[in-house]
Amino acid sequence: MPASDRTRRLLAHSLLFASLAFAAGCTGNASTDATASTDDAADGTITPSNWPDVAWPFPHDAELEAKVDALLATMTVEEKVGQTIQGDIDSITPDDVRKYRLGSILAGGGSDPGRQYNAKPQAWLDLADAFWEASMDINGGGKAIPIIWGIDAMHGQSNIVGATLFPHNIGLGATRNPELLREIARITAIETRTTGMEWTFAPTVAVPQDDRWGRTYEGYSEDPKLVAEFAGVFVEGLQGKVGSNGFLGDDRVMSTVKHFLGDGGTASGKDQGDTLSSEAELRDIHAAGYVPAIAVGAQGVMASFNSFHGEKLHGHKPLMTDVLKGRMNFGGFIVGDWNGHGQVRGCTNTDCAQTYIAGLDMPMAPDSWKGLYETTLAHVKAGTIPMERLDDAVRRILRVKFRMGLFDKPKPSERALGARFELLGAPEHRAVARQAVRESLVLLKNQDGILPLASDQRVLVAGDGADNMSKQSGGWTLTWQGDGTTRADFPNADTIWDGLKAQVEAAGGSATLSVNGSYRQKPDVAIVVFGEEPYAEFQGDLANLMFKGGKSGDLELIQKLKADGIPVVSVFISGRPLWMNREINASDAFVAAWLPGSEGAGIADVLLRGADGKAQYDFKGKLSYSWPRRADQYDNNVGQEGYDPLFAYGFGLGYGDDGNLAPLPEDPGIDMTAASANTWYEHGVATTGLTLRLVGADGNAMDIVHPAATTSDGSLAMTAINHEVQEGARQFAWSNDATVELRSNIPLDLDRETNGDVYAVVTLRVDALPANGQASVIATCGEGCRGEVAIGDALSKLPRGEWTRLGVQLKCLRAAGADTRSLDMPFALRTGAGAQVALTRIVASTDFDHKVECATQ
């Protein structure tokens, strides 16, 4: 960012931050002197006095402190350490809690009772009871200290079948309605309590600055002011108001504000990357949501995966201890993110004294909890972790548990909302979600006032997003990535098609669903619903802002309908703004619908006129993120010098506005061919447009949607393992001849890359070779068209148990028979019994450590 731009932007944000601090009841002010802010150190130095002095809203409570002191005085060091450890239900049992006296459990993305993503609500509640009973069982010794269960209730209690699913935060940001968010948070708390959890890891108050980031949709806005306006009311909606009788009561949950700090500001929008901003930018932009959240009594803050100038936040004492707990007076406890402590310099997932010393109170150790417990206990006994620091962490945790009244509560099923499953997806809750959908929609184009549509006509509904609950709900929905679900998993929900069909038919019109846009009788209008496939965290990171298109060929579908003389209204489902000029040009109207959740009927409420011919609801949504003019326009935030988006922050048409739009340029500013062909498999997951498939020795194939799978004949088993990031790789074990395939939904043209001496490069770890020594890489190009290159000898020369990059020249595959102009399977690995290989990345590249030699002439 140019210095002059940075100066102006920081001046504006410094004044904003000062106003937020004042509104939050700060007992002092962060420095707002222009020179101090704009000349702020850009080398990672932190000066706590530059930060706001927030008023923690709890006066000293002598009775509460006496309870904490009395209990702490009776606890052994083993019990104290146990209180600070949080394990995941997929890797811990109630008996483990009973033995180690752990303070907390979580259900991370993909962790479910019985490992069933669609487990019944009763199964969740039964498990909550079992863990609570274990924590209170003192027959084997120890103190009865109730466990607290945390969960990612990200957009409603989105882990539970039948729950109300609200729009993701990007959509809520477009509503500009803080009081609606308060009500959404209140409902989320109620539905979470029915299944026994007392704690949600929300809200996310990131301020995303680069929309390539895979978590952009978790942020309300690129504008810190809007994020700050929403943060406090959402915390109050979850927890209640400090001082009220209902604060942290049986219909409320503990809030955790996340991720501290700078998660939305990493270089190139890389998830878990490095934030290289100045201290003033970190404070004024990325910490904006924490001031109001602390001021209303948020009980938890979650440390972030990212670094600040190379120092991981899980080990950053100046920020966690000196700023958050010290200067900003945060009196709750800091919880870690999924094995985030293991990324601290000098640490592993099972050994990290540094994270405690830096100020983390409760490491999230999902599958590493036992090892971390043992090493932490040893560190305390050795004095590496001071007892004073451990006692402070335990005090903070106990204080929250006493404040929530957990010591006086029965098991979860016997509390006020336990087993009240009729509240999951209750009609009054869904009505609020439907309102949120209506208010989140942003109208970008309305040529010749085509909207609102008359309902009493022939309406064709097309596109693979029209009748697709997974797509319209996005990540963090029943599964971590939001994929692998079925329509039956959403009993209290309407797809976008459901809503359109019901209203059109009620008005006397006819509605037809055709994903590919085919029809028998020409419709009066077509509504095409399309967009991004669901994703979460790093699996949604992009190299650019180019929309890649879906399986149905979205642009081609819109153009085909237009060529037939049919007006087209496009509804775009996405977790961020993307370069969509071609699709916008081809459409008569274009609506950004974000990730609306369970109430797809809210879209019909706005698009369609009522039976009386009048508009039912106008568009209210305004962009909370600037819309890119080009696919390489990454620095595109309001207030920046040279700010030149296609649609500016705050843009959003209403029915009273002129919605006509001149044709947009269709040059994305990047090489579209290169953008779509380079990366096929990242962090153990097939990228957009490709599918990971396992083919057993019996020839039966299975497409992969979950991180663990085994072929029907047992010849090939896949499990998720950690590499660089959580579940960042897949381990494959062969007991017979079998194949790991990457299938492309649309044939890939790699002719240019083949001619340019590009390789298929796989980042792998060979743990064991096949017994017969044979292995091959395969590419196919339709029926009867394939190329196969032997790599058994190359694998035998790779170092065992070490990650490395092996390249197979595309020319080798072409020489072996593959037509690289039209590959429906750009990569497959086939080997046999005894082989154990882990894969994390497969790309078309010229950068590798080892290569397979072959004759290509």
**Model confidence pLDDT, tens digit, residues 442-461:** 999 999 999 999 999 999 99
Write the pLDDT tens digit of every residue in 250-270.
999 999 999 999 999 999 998
C-alpha 270/C-alpha 315 separation (Å) is: 19
The whole-chain average pLDDT of the chain stands at 92
Cβ(287)–Cβ(324) below 8 Å:
no
Number of alpha carbons in the 13 Å side-chain half-sphere of residue 495: 22
Helices (H), 259-342: 279-281, 290-295, 317
> 165, 597 in Cβ contact below 8 A?
yes
pLDDT value, residue 748: 85
How high is the pLDDT of residue 27? Answer: 55
Contact 522, 566 (CB under 8 A): yes
CA distance 5 to 18: 20
Q: State the pLDDT confidence band at 15, using cuts at 50, 70 and 90.
A: low
pLDDT for the residue 845: 83
Segment (H or E) for 610: none
Kindly state the greatest CA–CA separation across the chain.
84
Q: How far is CA 650 from CA 42, 444, 619, 622, 653, in A?
A: 30, 11, 13, 5, 10
753 catalytic per annotation: no
At 765, the amino acid letter reads: R
Active-site residue, selected from the candidate residues 191, 351, 537, 605? 537
Among 363, 236, 233, 390, smallest CA distance to 303 is for 363
Residue 7 has pLDDT above 70, yes or no: no
Q: Which of 309-323, 437-451, 615-629, 723-737 has the lowest mean pLDDT?
A: 723-737
- CA dihedral over 614, 617, 620, 621, signed as positive or negative: negative
Tell me how crowded residue 662 is: count the other CB atoms within 10 A of its CB: 5
d(Cα 275, Cα 309) in Å, to the nearest integer? 6
- pLDDT for res 322: 98
Catalytic residue among 222, 229, 337, 599: 337
The distance in angstroms from the start CA to the end CA of the chain is: 49
- Looking at residue 653, the DSSP 8-state letter turns out to be B
**Would you say residue 753 has pLDDT above 90?**
no
Sign of CA dihedral 143, 90, 391, 410: negative
- pLDDT tens per residue across span 18-71: 565 556 666 544 443 333 344 466 789 999 999 999 999 999 999 999 999 999
Residue 39 has a pLDDT of: 44
**Is there a catalytic annotation at residue 222?**
no
Whether residue 768 is predicted with pLDDT greater than 50 in this model: the reply is: yes
Query: What pLDDT is recorded for position 20?
Result: 59
Q: Is the pLDDT reported for residue 560 higher than 80?
A: yes
Locate 163 and state its tokens: 């729950």
279: its two tokens: 């201290």
Which tens digits make up the pLDDT trace of 676-734? 446 888 877 787 678 899 999 999 998 887 778 899 999 999 998 988 877 889 999 99
pLDDT of residue 166: 98
Read off the pLDDT band of 757 (50, 70, 90): confident
Higher confidence at residue 653 or residue 854? 653
Instruction: Say how far apart CA 811 and CA 808 lie, in whole Å.
Output: 8
Confidence of residue 653 (pLDDT cuts 50, 70, 90): very high
Least confident of 483-492, 533-542, 807-816: 533-542
Look at residue 751 in the predicted model and tell me its pLDDT: 75
Look up residue 709 and give its amino acid: A
* pLDDT above 70 for 672: no
Residue 212: what are its φ and ψ, rounded to 5°?
-70, -20
| Cα 592–Cα 598–Cα 603 angle in degrees, nearest 5 | 40
Mean predicted confidence (pLDDT) in 469-494? 95
Residue 417 banded pLDDT, cuts 50, 70, 90: very high
- Residue % of the chain over a pLDDT of 90: 84
Q: How many CB atoms lie within 10 A of CB 11?
A: 17
pLDDT at res. 4: 47
As beta bridge partners, residue 709 has 718
What pLDDT is stored for residue 110 in this prediction? 82
Output the CA torsion 280→285→287→291 (10° steps): 100
Whole-angstrom Cα distance, residue 474 to residue 703?
19
pLDDT value at residue 146: 98
Pick the closest to residue 789 from 806, 772, 803 (CA basis): 806
Radius of gyration of the chain (CA): 27
Tell me the residue type at 558: I
Write down the pLDDT at residue 181: 98
434 φ/ψ angles, rounded to the nearest 5 degrees: -65, -40
Asked whether the beta carbons of 769 and 833 are under 8 A apart, the reply is no
Q: Which residue has the tokens 């991180």?
A: 707
Grade residue 341 by pLDDT with cuts at 50, 70 and 90. Answer: very high
Residues in the chain: 857
- Distance, CA of 223 to CA of 774 (rounded, Å): 56
Q: What is the dihedral of CA 377, 380, 385, 391, to 10 degrees?
A: 90
Measured from the Cβ of residue 453, the count of other Cβ atoms closer than 10 Å reads: 22
For residue 447, the tally of other CB atoms under 10 A from its CB is: 14
Judged against a pLDDT cut of 90, whether residue 806 lies above it is answered with yes
Tokens read off for 236: 């109050």
Residue 452 token pair: 């609102």
**Chain centroid offset of residue 125 CA:** 25
What are the start-end ranges of the E strands in 757-824?
759-768, 775-780, 786-790, 803-809
Provide the 3-class DSSP secondary structure of residue 408. Answer: helix
- Mind listing the pLDDT tens digit for each residue in 265-300? 999 998 999 999 999 999 999 999 999 999 999 999
Mean pLDDT across 469-480: 95
Question: Can you tell me which residue has the tokens 């972790």?
Answer: 385
